[in-house]
Amino acid sequence: MKGKALAVGLSILAASTAMAQVKINFWHSMGGVNGEATERIVKGFNASQKECEAVSTYVGSYDDGLTKLQAALRAKNPPHVQQIYDLGLQGIAESGQVVPISDLARRDGYDLSGILFPLARYYNLDGKYYGVPFNASTAELYYNVDAFKAAGLTRPPKTFEEFVDYARKLTKKDASGNVIQYGASIRVYGWFIEQLIYNQGGYVVNNENGRTKRATAVEYNGPAGVRAVKWIVDMTREGININVGRDGAAQRQAFTSGKAAMFIESTAALGAVTREVGGRFQFRTTSLPRPAGTKGGTAIGGAALYIFKDHPNNEINCAWKFVKYAISPEVQFEWHKATGYYPVTRATLELPQTKAYWKENPNAKTPIDIILSSPPTKSSQGAVAGVMPQIRQHIEEAMELAIAGKATVEEALNAAAAKSNEAIARYNSSVR
Amino acid sequence: MDQRTAIPYSGVRRTRRVNLEGFGFLAPALLLMGLFTVYPAFSALWLSLHTEAPFSGESIWVGLRNYQDLLKDRDFHSSLLTTLYFTLLTVPVSIGGGLLSAVLLHRSLPGIRVYRVLLFLPVAVPTATAAIAWRWLYHPSVGYINYALGLVGLPPVSWLQDPSIALAALAMAVAWQNLGLNAILLLAGLQSIPEELIEAARLDGATPARIFRSITLPLLTPTLYFASIVGMIHAMTTFGPIHLLTQGGPANATQVAVYRIYTEGFINFRFGYATAQAVVLFIVILGFTILQSRLERRVHYQ
């Protein structure tokens, strides 16, 4: 009887301390395996201390999440923390709705300089961090080592020209002329074109990717963009790159089923590719090819965590605590292992367990090698413009027109650029 | 006079009381409809006269400018045409196929119930699940359809990647999903046709084809009429399969009006402009529905 009373008393006490906790809402866009890893971070945070409790909500894709944010801002009820993709940077920063992370860091002496330089470079806008990079990715080349061996190829292709040559060698047909193995499966995806432009030192938008001044026009229809789009379009029309449209899952499936020997994808897909291949063949990852004689580096992808205004101070403090926890070295190591995103701080790279993990999983280290060897130029810093999502659609539309043979690559890109420029002008006039 | 609709004569007061009672029963439905259909429709109209800066949450009155911009917007015009093509591709197939299936199902063959379930099954499958199944069926290299083509020595087809085929491929997937519902509707229609009429015609020496043309089909017209209106509205507002299979591509070949509204609103954050497009689409659908309702004159109600 006494025990029971004690238990009741304790549970009332527990409930009252739970009530005293500061609750913060965390919105994220991670589904599947990556979603489970995100939930583990939230649980870990809640267990790590007593005063704050993070409540996580999956808000759909990055685009869906932004839509929900728009609605929440109108209703004056934004989440405390939201994961927002790289492209959202300028729009979110200029909205005046976020608490710059740099301000919070300065206040309690938190050192943000441990963030890896390529990420710092991308997410710094006018000397400030509006959000803090959380899940970082990079585009890379995945290739089927067994298929390479069968075709007598011993190392990955480094240039566009070499890649085409490889793709021809890797394309196999049966007696009746049907393709049984394609050289590559590269889908229609604007992000790839952006990365291939940076790899040549080019810019997607003017004013050096919008980094010296606000972007006023696009430059993806310049020589670097034309070369990148032509490379993919020509291979597709020749039949050595299988055309899977915009579908990321179909692209991956072509590779993991052994129907295509090479493909380009984000490091974030490493977990899914490994699982789908299931050890049926060996595959490796490496940096993207580039046209011979060009120089450049890859920009980052992924998302950052932003903290929203219009919340009481104690809630903002909890939000900031959560963000610090999410990028702490051990948490980022577990995150890296589970997802294929790479760690955002140098401290994680230096952990002994990280080094041991890489020794056994060389594919997991590839993105770090790629991103740390990228020259620190304004090109590889990545483009900022308020309408990047729209720009991406225009590039994709141009690729499809060219693949269908309805326009030359130059014509299609110029038409797309005209639409993008109109959108940029409209955006710029709306923020001033 | 029809017995069911006759109200026993006892003065006007009684009728009014019946009406009030009726509205009482309707009230919850009317309230919900007002809240979730009528109110949003009017606020959409209001929103279409505004423009807004992303994330700032404020709306700026622009009058009819969004509509003026729409007049010049070629992408929007072509999306309306694509919507029309898509409707013409899906509705006849799903109704024709539904009719054929219903006629076959109407015969009492062994195991017919199993066939009915199988035919109706696609209707019960969520759109997203169906779309993902079609994604794999249509896959250019590992898809079953191209595999089947290969077995008979035909080259693979880029179902969703070729701009000249993608819309038809999508339409087939959608028509397949709607076919089951039409088949069940039409089957119910067939079963409600009095056996005596057909019996009498048969005694008069009418051929099965003649019976179908002169008795079955006219008595099915109410069901066909219903299926065509519902089918058209459904086709003109199809979103899920397009979002999951082609995202409006390749080269805008599957960019129907609804998908364009989605991109303008939820990717480009031009809410006012997107709503203006939605209003235009609403007027177009309303126009087609009114046109179709003229067909009702040819419908035979029993």
| Cβ-based contacts of B57 with chain A (< 8 Å) | 70, 73-74
**Residue A95 contacts B, CB cutoff 8 Å:** yes
Residue pLDDT, tens place only, A372-402: 999 999 999 999 998 999 999 999 999 999 9
Residue A11 has what pLDDT?
53
Mutation to test the B interface, candidates A130, A242, A408, A413, most B Cβ within 10 Å: A242
* pLDDT reading at B15 higher than 70: no
CA-CA-CA-CA torsion sign (B287, B291, B292, B296): positive
Which segments of chain A have a pLDDT < 70?
A: 1-20, 432
| Tens-digit pLDDT profile for residues B191-249 | 988 888 888 998 998 888 898 888 888 899 999 999 999 999 999 999 999 999 999 98
- Give the pLDDT confidence score for residue A16 in this predicted structure: 47
Would you say A367 and A267 are in contact if contact means Cβ atoms under 8 Å apart? yes
Q: Is A233 on the interface with B (CB under 8 A)?
A: no
Full DSSP string of A29-47: ---HHHHHHHHHHHHHHHH
- Residue B57's pLDDT is 65
Q: Work out how many CB contacts closer than 8 A connect A with B.
A: 106
Residue B111, pLDDT > 90, answer no
Q: Which among B57, B247, B252 has CB closest to A73?
A: B57
pLDDT tens column, A300-324: 999 999 999 989 999 999 999 999 9
Q: Pairing between strand A260-266 and A22-28?
A: unpaired
Residue of B161, B260, B264, B275 best to disrupt the A interface, most CBs of A under 10 A:
B161
Per-residue pLDDT at B14: 57
At B27-66, the pLDDT tens digits run: 999 999 999 999 999 999 999 999 877 776 678 899 999 9
Q: How far is B42 from chain A (nearest CA, A)?
A: 18
Using a pLDDT cut of 70, give the percent of chain A over it: 95
pLDDT at B93 over 90: yes
Q: Which of residues 170-199 of A touch B (CB under 8 A)?
A: 176-179, 182, 185, 188
Option in A97, A185, A397 nearest B55 (CB): A97
Is the pLDDT confidence value at B300 over 80? no
Which pLDDT score is estimated for B17? 67
Tell me the shortest Cα–Cα distance from A245 to chain B, in angstroms.
5
State both tokens at A403.
């693949």
ipTM score of complex = 0.83
Model confidence at B297: pLDDT above 80 = no
- Residues with Cβ within 8 Å of B276's Cβ and at least 6 positions away in sequence, in order, are B48, B66, B67, B69, B70
CB within 8 Å: B54 and A176: no
- Separation CA A93–CA A132 (nearest Å): 12
A371 in Cβ contact with A74 (< 8 Å) = no
pLDDT recorded at residue A111: 92
Judged by CB atoms closer than 8 Å, whether chains meet at A427 and B263 is answered as no
Does the distance separating the beta carbons of B250 and A404 come in below 8 Å?
yes
Average pLDDT over residues B183-193: 91
Residue type, A45: F
B129 confidence band (pLDDT: 50, 70, 90): very high
Show residues of chain A in contact with B51, CB under 8 Å: 430
pLDDT of residue B108 exceeding 70, the answer is yes
Chain A CB contacts of B135 under 8 Å are 247, 249-250
Q: Is the pLDDT of residue B296 over 60?
A: yes
Under the banding of pLDDT at 50, 70 and 90, the label for residue B4 is very low
Confidence at B155, pLDDT banded by 50, 70, 90: confident
Minimum distance, in Å, between the CA of residue A70 and any CA atom of chain B: 6
Say if the Cβ atoms of A250 and B162 lie within 8 Å. no
Residues of B in contact with A404 (CB under 8 A): 162-164, 250-251
Q: What is the pLDDT of residue A365?
A: 94
Tell if the CB–CB gap between B54 and A91 is shorter than 8 Å: yes
Spatial contact of A157 and A235, defined as CB atoms under 8 Å apart: no
Identify which of A205-209, B124-128, B205-209, B267-271 has the greatest average pLDDT.
A205-209
What are the tens digits of pLDDT across the range A114-158? 999 999 989 988 888 999 999 999 999 999 999 999 999 999 999
Q: Is B160 in contact with A393 (Cβ distance < 8 A)?
A: no
CA atoms of B23 and B4, how far apart (whole Å): 19
Task: Give percent of chain B above pLDDT 90.
Answer: 55
pLDDT for A74 equals 84
Q: Is A308 an interface residue toward B (CB < 8 Å)?
A: no
B240 touches chain A (CB under 8 A): no
Q: A427 contacts in B (CB within 8 Å)?
A: 54
Assess B267–A contact: CB distance below 8 Å, yes or no: yes
Bond preceding residue B250 cis, omega within 30 of 0: yes
DSSP code per residue over A79-105: -SEEEEEGGGHHHHHHHT-EE-HHHHH
Q: A374: closest CA among A301, A282, A265?
A: A301
Q: How far apart are CA A16 and CA A11, in angstroms?
A: 8
Q: In chain B, what percentage of residues exceed pLDDT 70? A: 93
Q: Do B198 and B224 form a contact (C-beta atoms < 8 A)?
A: no
Cβ within 8 Å, pair B161-A403: yes
Examine the pLDDT at B2 and tell me if it is beyond 50: no
Residues 108-127 of B with CB under 8 A from A: none
pLDDT band, very low/low/confident/very high, at B6 (cuts 50, 70, 90): very low
In chain A, how many H helices and how many E strands?
Answer: 20, 13
Q: Report yes or no: A378 at the B interface, CB cutoff 8 Å.
A: no
> What pLDDT was estimated at residue B141?
81
Shortest CA gap A430–chain B (Å): 5
**C-alpha count within 13 angstroms, C-beta hemisphere, residue B218:** 13
Nearest to B263 among A246, A387, A393 (CB): A393
Instruction: Using CB atoms within 10 Å of the CB of residue B178, give its burial: 0 to 12 exposed, 13 to 18 middle, 19+ buried.
Output: buried
